[in-house]
Structure 1
Amino acid sequence: MNPLPTPGPFDGLFDDAAVFPPGDLPLPQAVPAHLAHQDAWYAELVGPFLCGANRLADLAALAEPGMPVALVLPGGPEQLAPALAATAGLTVVGVELAAGARAALAAFAQLPDGVAGAVELPRGPGLFEELDVLAGTPYRAKYRTGGLAAEAFPTEAELAAFIRACAERDLPFKCTAGLHNAVRHTDHATGFEHHGFLNVLLAAADPARAEEVLAERSGKLLASAVLDLTPGQIEQARSAFTAFGTCSIAEPLDDLAALGLLPHQETP
């Protein structure tokens, strides 16, 4: 297999969630690490630095001008105005809000020009109706693909249904949690079933086969399928699956390199 050229299917895919569980890296370590990612050969693959509202003052003291930051606000719309007021000196490029779709859309009226919005919607009954509300807006859906308990991980069928629903509505989405690795696998320590980000990427390229693709555990087959994607299929996949938050930038890069999908250069 030949390494994929850039720009390619992984550009901007890895949002830096180093300060969130299970990584929990302290800000004085996470910020320099992110700045190093921005200067590295793989910089085009790394998205913004994700930060919660309670750490913005400390982040402002550590960040360099121009460092892209996305605010993660699990507390809902009431967190948005105070968080925006605390971002002086930061380059805010996105806001991720946990809320119902209508409440989030009303809150997003406060967003400055050029700041993207994503809405983390609750899983379960009513999800597709919430996606209907988001459809046709400038905003993305955010979907939780893991966490610290087994029930935080959706099944292949559940995630496939979400991906198909977004495709039917022409609604882009990002994922959060549990996607550090490229290929679907069972975590030996916890027993949790983790989705792979290559599985999600390929499911976004072909939503009709999403459940089958999400269940695939062969890295060799998934890597070959990615290399076979046409430019149009890559554009479709990435227009749908825009990014995912990962507390480790090194893990997904190491996986891609091991599968022959990145140049053989030293990863962080």
Structure 2
Amino acid sequence: MNPLFAGLFDDAAIFPPGNVPMPAAVSAHRERQSSALAPLAGPFVCSLARFGELAEAAAGGPPLRVSLVLPGPVAGPPDALPAAAGLEIAGVEGPSLTADGTLPTYTEIPCREVTATRVAALRDAGLRLKIRTGGVRADAFPSEAELAGALWAAVRGGLAFKLTAGLHDPIRHRDPVTGFEHHGFLNVLLATARALQGYEIERALADQDGRRVAAAVAGIDEVLVKAVRHHFISFGTCSIDEPVAGLRKYRLLEDPR
């Protein structure tokens, strides 16, 4: 498997628009953990409000790594976070968070507010960046220029980031039902590489030619792959199957069938 895709897909199945019931989502996640797709999957994403529900659904099974979504800063030491047998909190994410030095901490800020100054402040505070790339309204999707600017600022500022929402498809496209313009996760990988190289970031995000984008992604060399993933850690998706199918469609992942 291309290391460019290792652990790229955080499992946000319980969030909209997927809204998979917790027991089914946990079961599917564990099934994936024991399959050939295990290297692609990141942690299970769960909100603080549903942690107890997750603990109940996961009880008695293999360990589960969790990215915990917080509504805001949690007062107290690191052990103030909830705990349950079999659940390992692998990171936290949410708005206005502060780093405690023990867990990867992603603080979410609007894409258009990701400037060199904000990036420097996050980096100096020991934080990572979370960028929302979609939602249930058209204005939740940043433009190509906005996302290009955020990627440039993060890469040039030496900051790690994750994305969330709207990235199920590998290639940029217009949803035929909603009319929303979705970014493609392969476009974002390529744009991150271009940010490291210093050119054509927005063009990489805008390209809707799937074969061309896939070929460019396949051509990213080993050294640049490591640099890309040093910055672009993962993205949350309510469907792991859809991005995996996209990789197979463009022959970037072998279909075991």
The question of a shared fold, defined as TM-score above 0.5 by the shorter chain, is answered with yes
Deviation digits for residues 115-135 of structure 1 (CA, Å, limit 9, x no counterpart):
211111134457543222112
SS at match of 1:262: coil
Q: Quick one: distance in 2 between partners of 1:7 and 1:126?
A: 29
Who is 1:76 aligned against?
72
Letter of the 1:18 counterpart: A
Query: Helix, strand or coil for the counterpart of 1:206?
Result: helix
Q: Does 1:21 align with 2:16?
A: yes
Instruction: Give the Å deviation of 1:81.
Output: 7.2
What is the distance in 1 between the residues matched to 2:204 and 2:120? 25
2:186 is aligned with 1:191: no
* 8 Å Cα contact 2:111/2:146 also seen in 1: no
Aligned to 1:3: none
In structure 1, list runs of 5 or more residues that go unmatched: 1-5
Kept in 1: contact 2:114–2:150 (CA 8 A): no
The corresponding residue for 2:140 is 152
1:31 aligned partner, one-letter code: V
* 1:85 positional shift: 3.9
Distance 2:239 2:201 in 1: 26
Q: 1:201 aligns with which of 168, 189, 201?
A: 189
Residues 85, 143 of structure 1: CA spacing in aligned structure 2 closer, same or farther, 3 A cutoff?
closer
1:51 aligns with 2:46: yes
Distance in 2 (alpha carbons) for counterparts of 1:194 and 1:79: 36
Q: CA RMSD in A?
A: 1.9
Q: Read off the aligned partner of 2:93 and give its amino acid letter.
A: E
- Residue type of the alignment partner of 1:12: G
Please, which of 73, 93, 98 is the counterpart of residue 90 of structure 2? 93
CA shift at 1:250, angstroms?
A: 0.2
Calculate the TM-score normalised by the size of structure 2: 0.92
Structure 2: distance between partners of 1:88 and 1:81: 17
Give the alignment partner of residue 37 of structure 2, picking from 42, 46, 52.
42
Identical counterparts, % of pairs: 43
Q: CA deviation at 1:140?
A: 1.4
Give, in whole Å, the separation in 1 of the partners of 2:140 and 2:94: 18
Give the aligned length: 251
Q: Secondary structure at the match of 2:3?
A: coil
1:79-128 deviations in whole A, cap 9, x for unaligned? 887995432222110100211xxxx22xx32x6x3x21111113445754
Aligned to 1:77, the other structure's residue is in SS state: coil
Give the alignment of 1:201-240 within 5 angstroms. Answer: 201-207=189-195, 208-240=199-231
Counterpart code for 1:190? T
Question: For 1:121-200, what aligned pairs fall within 5 Å after superposition?
Answer: 121-125=109-113, 127-200=115-188
Distance 1:85 1:158, change over 3 A: closer
Give 1:260 deviation, angstroms: 0.5
Separation in 2, partners of 1:228, 1:57: 44
SS at match of 1:190: coil
- Deviation readout 1:3-22 (Å, 9 max, x if unpaired): xxx25210000000000011
How many angstroms does 1:264 deviate by? 1.7
Question: SS at 2:5's partner residue?
Answer: coil
Aligned-partner Cα distance in 2 for 1:141–1:83: 23
Per the alignment, residue 254 of structure 2 pairs with 263
User: 1:65: how far off?
Assistant: 4.2
Are the structure 2 counterparts of residues 126 and 241 from structure 1 closer, same or farther at C-alpha, using a change threshold of 3 Å?
Answer: closer
Contact map agreement 1:53 1:79 (CA 8 A) in 2 = no
